[in-house]
């Protein structure tokens, strides 16, 4: 039995068959399934894995990384918290479970 090819490909250059396999394997997005691949020179990239009938793919994906200090994050969260509070100290959307997506991971349910 022949072993499947093992290929590394960028998400931007994926053939349609691989994109369809990604949609099937990760219907709610792949944010929680990202793996970090370190190269021998110390560089790294993030990827997901997917298989088709022809090959096993390591698909490189772009990841947005926030470069904010903990102090700046605290200030931003405090500012958001203060903007969301009503005059009586309660929150405008108290009990609202809807949250905005904070990442760029494709969501194929939308």
Q: Read off the pLDDT of residues 4-58 as tens digits, 9 standing for 90 and up.
A: 899 999 999 999 999 999 999 999 999 889 999 999 999 999 999 999 999 999 9
Give the pTM: 0.57
| Beta strands 35-38; 5-10: pairing state | unpaired
Residue 18 parent element (H or E)? helix 16-25
The three-class DSSP label of residue 77 is helix
Q: For position 7, what pLDDT does the model report?
A: 94
The span from the CA of 31 to the CA of 48, in Å, is: 9
pLDDT digits (tens, 9 = 90+) for 74-91: 787 777 777 655 555 555
Q: For position 18, what pLDDT does the model report?
A: 94
Give the residue, 102 or 17, on which the prediction is more confident. 17
Q: For position 68, what pLDDT does the model report?
A: 74
43 HSE (CA, 13 A, CB side) = 2
Q: For position 71, what pLDDT does the model report?
A: 81
Distances (CA, A) of 47 to 7, 9, 19, 31: 12, 9, 14, 10
């Amino acid at each position: 039995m022949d072993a499947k090819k093992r290929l590394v490909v960028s998400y931007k250059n994926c053939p349609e068959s691989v994109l369809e396999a990604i949609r099937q394997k990760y219907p709610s997005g792949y944010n929680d399934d990202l793996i970090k691949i370190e190269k021998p020179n110390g560089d790294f990239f993030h990827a997901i894995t997917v298989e088709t009938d022809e090959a096993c793919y390591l698909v490189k994906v772009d990841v947005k990384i926030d470069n904010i200090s903990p102090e700046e994050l605290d200030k931003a969260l405090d500012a958001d918290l203060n903007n969301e509070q009503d005059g009586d100290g309660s929150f405008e959307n108290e009990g609202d479970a809807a949250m905005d997506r904070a990442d760029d991971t494709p969501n194929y349910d939308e």
